[in-house]
Structure 1
C-alpha cells in the first residue's frame, strides 16, 4: 500500500516539473556588443558539414574586404617619409665628467739575480833555483797569473851556500884579463875556477845567507860587471805565486812557466 502511494507521488511530481518547463518564459538574452568595423562576425549556424562550409564562405568576403581596406593605408604609410628624429633640447646642467678608468698598477719586474762570480783560484809554481829564474818564469806565464809575487822558501837545515860568479871566459887568458879589471876596480876576494862545469869562471865570494850574497852582487855591478848568484847545498828555493786567470787551468800555467811543480794556494796570502 505504501509503495503504491510513493509511486503516485513521484508521478505527480514529474508531471508538475514537465508542466513548469513547458509553461516557463525564455530568459532575456543580453545585447551583443557592437560589432567592430572591418572584422568578420562569427555566427553559429545549425546543421552539419554544409552549415560549416556556408559559414566559411560567408566569412571569406568580409575578410577579403578587410585586407583590401588595410592595404591602402599600409602603402601610404610606407610611401610617407620617416619623420626626422627629434633633437633633444640642450640641457642646462653641465655634463658629468667621465670617470677615469683606473689602470692597473704595473707589477715591478723581478730582476734576475746576477750569476755568482767565480771563486778565484791561486797557486804557487816552482821551485826555482834563484830569483832570476823565478822572474823569468813570471814573464813566461804572462796573463795566466795576476797579483804575482816572488817568495823564497829558506832552507830548513841552514847549510845553504850562495856564490857570486862572473860568467866563464872563453879561455884562461881571458879569465886572467878579467881578474886584472877586477883588481883595478878595487874588488878583492876572487879566484879563477880551474875545473868542472864552471871552468874559467871567476868566483867573487861564497856566503851562507842571501842578504850577504846580494850585497856582494850590488858592489860588483857598481864596478861594471854582470855577476850571477848561484845557490848550492840546501839553499832556499824560489816560488812564483799568483792568482790564476778565470779561463786558465793550473796545468797550463805550470807548463808555460816551466815550473817543476804547482801547488794550490789560498788567495788571502797574496794580500
Structure 2
C-alpha cells in the first residue's frame, strides 16, 4: 500500500508540473500585454528578439528636428564670400595717335577709362643682308649654289625660325656697309635686301583697369590686348 501511495503522489506531481509548463506562455503573454497597455516595458524572454519592442519605444520618444546652419549675420544666403579680382589690360600697339584715340573713345563708350602709354623708338643695333625665304629647303640650297657660282661664297642657308629657308648674306655694323653688300648681290642678279636689326619705331598703347561688370571678351573688337599687372598702371 505504501508503495502504491508513493507512486500516486509522484504521478500527481508530474502531472501538475506538465500542466504549468503548458499554461506558462499564455500567462506570460497576457502579463506583457497588460504591462504594455499601462505604458511600462513588457516582459521578454532571454532569447526573445528585441524587434517587437522597438516600435513602442520609437513612438514614446519625440523626434528632435534636424539642426540648421544659420547664415552669417549681414550676408544673404545666395551670395558667395569670394571676391572678384581686378583685371587690367594693355591695348595696342596702334599705328598712330589717330588710331589710338579712336580706340580710347570706344573704350570710354563701353564704360572703361584708359590712359595712354608710349614706347620710344629704338635705333638699329646693326644691319643684315639676306634673301627672303624660299618655298622649301631644296629651293634654298639650290639658290645658294647659284650665288656661290656667281662668285659670292660668304652666305648661309637658315634652317629654322621665321627666317627658315632664307639665305643670309652677312651682318654689318653700319648702313653704308650693308647697302654696299646689297648692291653687290643685286648686281649679280639676286634680290638681296638690307634691313636694320632691332630698329623699332615709337609705339602707342592704352592701359585700362576694367570695372568688375565688364569682361575682357566684350572688348575684343576694340583692339588687340593682353593682361598686365594692375600695379604698373599710373
* TM-score bracket for this pair, using the shorter chain length: 0.3 to 0.5
**Based on CA coordinates, which of the two structures has the bigger radius of gyration?**
1
If the length of structure 2 is used for normalisation, what is the TM-score? 0.33
